[in-house]
Structures are given as C-alpha cells and as structure tokens.
Amino acid sequence: MKLLKEYIRHSGRVIGNDILKVDSFLNHQMDIGLFQEIGQEFKKRFSENKITKILTIEASGIGIACITAQYFDNVKVVFAKKNSARNLNSEVYESQVFSYTKDTHYNIKVDKNYLCPADKVLIIDDFLANGNAVLGLLDITKQAKSQVAGVGIVIEKSFQNGRDSILDKNVRLESLARVKSLAGGTISFVD
C-alpha cells in the first residue's frame, strides 16, 4: 500500500535494528484519514469473504478495526482484553501471549457471548512481529469454533517470524506494508 509506505518512510523512526516507531500516525496519535485508506484496502483484499466480525486486541488495534468495519456490511468489532477488569463476564475464551515489547506474559480474554461458530472472523492488528498476539487471537477463534477469513496487518516486520507462524496454521495473511529490514536505521520494504 503506497500511501502507507510513504507515511512510514516520512514519519517512522528506527530505534536500534528492530524497533520501528510509528506513533505519530498509527498507535498513539492516530491519523484517521490514513485509517480510512487502510480500511478500504482491507475491504478490497477480503471483499470475497462474508466477514461477520472483526476481532482485534487492545489497545492499538481498536481504532484501525473500528474504521475498517465501516467498509464491511454490518460487522461488529470485538477486542480481546488484556487486563482482568472486575466487570468482565467470567465466561470467557482465554489465551496466553508473550510480549517481547514488554517482556512479559499476559492473558487475553474474549467474552463467550461475542464469538460463535456462525462467525466468519477477520483478525486485524497494527503490527506483526513475532506473531504472538495474532496466535493468541487465533487460539480464541478456535475455542469459539468460529471460522477465520484471514489476518489483516498494517505493518509487518518481515525479518521476524510472525508471518511463518501464521502461514503454518494455514491462515491467510494480508500485510499492507512489509518491512524487510531496519538495519543501520534504514527502512526497506519487501518487493
């Protein structure tokens, strides 16, 4: 996706050899005009699928998922919760995720009322690195016996193993920008 790559080249900042900061437009400050273009691109790529629900994870997936949902027909968004709020229903699907960014394990949870076998799910997230968050979401859809149409990622770090982890599960993956390398502070893309 050309516009997205321009945003990344123009406003992304590289830290070390593997961290790409895009918090000026994607995951802290959010550029809604860009999100609309992202949403339309996901719709284009998954147009032949009868998506019934978009599943994401708090916090930075939520904005992209909500804007994207508008381009599908009557699709609700569900976000997996990371923290055990006191008022979350006790009947939940649950999976454990390891976060490299925060160097800790955490549980993600989805209320059983909001995913069912009749659902055809599009999983959306802002970043794909090692793929652990997406694998957790896939585990939850499996527990719910929902179908998965695929995974839509805004930025994939293709030099990490998230892509392989997802393809190994025979799940379709669409990443709108695939970063080949951040070595030496230079951003290069696959293709």
User: Which tokens go with 25?
Assistant: 């437009």
Q: State yes or no: residue 77 binds a second copy (CB under 8 A).
A: yes
Q: State yes or no: residue 86 binds a second copy (CB under 8 A).
A: yes
**C-alpha span between 138 and 113 (Å, rounded):** 17
Q: State yes or no: residue 62 binds a second copy (CB under 8 A).
A: yes
**DSSP letters of 62-100?**
HHHHHHHHTTSSS-EEEEEBSS--TTS-S-EEEEEEEET
Size of the residue set binding a second copy (CB under 8 A): 42
Exposed/middle/buried for 153, CB within 10 Å: 0-12, 13-18, 19+? Answer: buried
Closest approach of Cβ 52 to a second copy, in Å? 12
Q: State yes or no: residue 90 binds a second copy (CB under 8 A).
A: no
Query: Residue 112 carries which DSSP code?
Result: G
Among 1, 75, 108, 151, binds a second copy (CB under 8 A): 75
Closest approach of Cβ 191 to a second copy, in Å? 26
Among 17, 29, 96, 188, binds a second copy (CB under 8 A): 29
Q: Which of 55-63, 130-138, 143-151, 181-189 is the region at the interface with a second copy (rule: CB under 8 A)? A: 55-63
**C-alpha span between 76 and 69 (Å, rounded):** 7
Q: State yes or no: residue 111 binds a second copy (CB under 8 A).
A: yes
Cβ count near 2 (within 10 Å): 9
Closest approach of Cβ 86 to a second copy, in Å? 6
Picking from 188, 71, 65, the residue whose alpha carbon sits closest to that of residue 122 is 65
**Site of interaction with a second copy (CB under 8 A):** 15, 19, 21, 23-24, 28-33, 35-36, 58-59, 62-63, 65-67, 69-70, 74-79, 81, 83, 85-89, 101-103, 110-111, 113-114
